[in-house]
Homo-oligomer: A and B are copies of this chain.
């Protein structure tokens, strides 16, 4: 059987640095565990724009559709702020999500024990935290038409459209319920049904799917503003949260912060099964391209490494190996290894991106 294939798109800013550490982990799996991947690299975001005048070429898009999984670093940077909206770095990422139809974006917010004191929240609020945000990723206001800026009389008007179909809501709801069954068996769905009709449809469809197919799972509903508040107040009340593209963007970033550092959090974006049974999949850290520290070897590679662990788990059925890698990260942190983002006000000496990679390899 052919080796599983990976397309690596390091992207912009700290993307290439953190991805370099993932490459070392991938190599380790090939050498030590006999799990060999066919790896190819490509460009996305500003890096692709610089080379080809577009944030994603058709060739790279086609390869992303063919491989078993895509690993992405990060896109964007102030250098590209002046670009037209249609060629901004983010459009490359959004095109991948949309054309691969990656409707289910899994964003775990887990608090590593070694970092529980590092959060801006109190230890007892976050220690042992383990929630999963399932964000719809291919629809909503990110993609709805009409959109754009036009003139009305003598002033500009900016428009975007929040649009959800029943089937779009149903499929992401199902993926949340499936996940919940393997976890705490609880789903909280968030929208603004008190203000938005799209939120009413969201709530209705989630409720229907629940009644018909997942009545064994506990379901609750919360307005997204109350959700943002409850995430800050007592996040452990949640198990799985399912929400739309835009609310998911904000809520998952807030949840990420609870765990201490955005440099820790991975994500998986999953679509429909391919012919080989694996889901279409893209894995990326939740953090951005962090242009302020790019190229300085300061970035924390853990979010990107844990994204690869999610690939082992969700694309390649290597659950034990995913556990192994996550435990290695845990042990590395417990041993005191800290990149700059993981140092509190007390300070301490940070290690570099590559040193963190080396430490995790050591723990493996």
A142 within 8 Å of B (CB atoms): yes
A195 within 8 Å of B (CB atoms): yes
User: Across the interface, which residues of B come within 8 angstroms of A288, CB to CB?
Assistant: 226
Binds B, one of A255-263, A271-279, A347-355: A255-263
Residue count of chain A within 8 Å CB distance of chain B: 65
- Least CB distance from A237 to B in Å reads 12
- Least CB distance from A46 to B in Å reads 12
Cα A166 to Cα B150 in complex, Å, equals: 11
Binds B, one of A33-41, A66-74, A120-128: A120-128
B194 touches A76 (CB 8 A): yes
Cα A162 to Cα B196 in complex, Å, equals: 11
Which residue among A125, A158, A205, A226 has the maximum number of chain B CB atoms within 10 Å of its CB? Answer: A158
Binds B, one of A6-14, A243-251, A294-302, A327-335: A243-251
User: Across the interface, which residues of B come within 8 angstroms of A158, CB to CB?
Assistant: 162-165, 196-202
A94 within 8 Å of B (CB atoms): yes
* A-B interface, 4 closest residue pairs, ranked by CB to CB distance from nearest: A158-B201, A158-B198, A155-B166, A232-B257
Interface residues of A (CB under 8 A from B): 76, 85, 88, 90, 94, 120-122, 124-125, 141-142, 144, 147-149, 152, 155-167, 192, 194-202, 205, 224-226, 228-234, 246-247, 249-254, 256-258, 262, 288, 345
Chosen A-B contacts, 26 in total, with CB atoms closer than 8 Å, are A120-B122, A120-B232, A120-B233, A121-B121, A121-B232, A141-B196, A142-B196, A147-B196, A147-B197, A149-B201, A158-B163, A158-B164, A158-B196, A158-B197, A158-B199, A159-B161, A160-B196, A192-B249, A225-B249, A225-B252, A228-B250, A230-B257, A231-B254, A232-B232, A247-B250, A254-B254
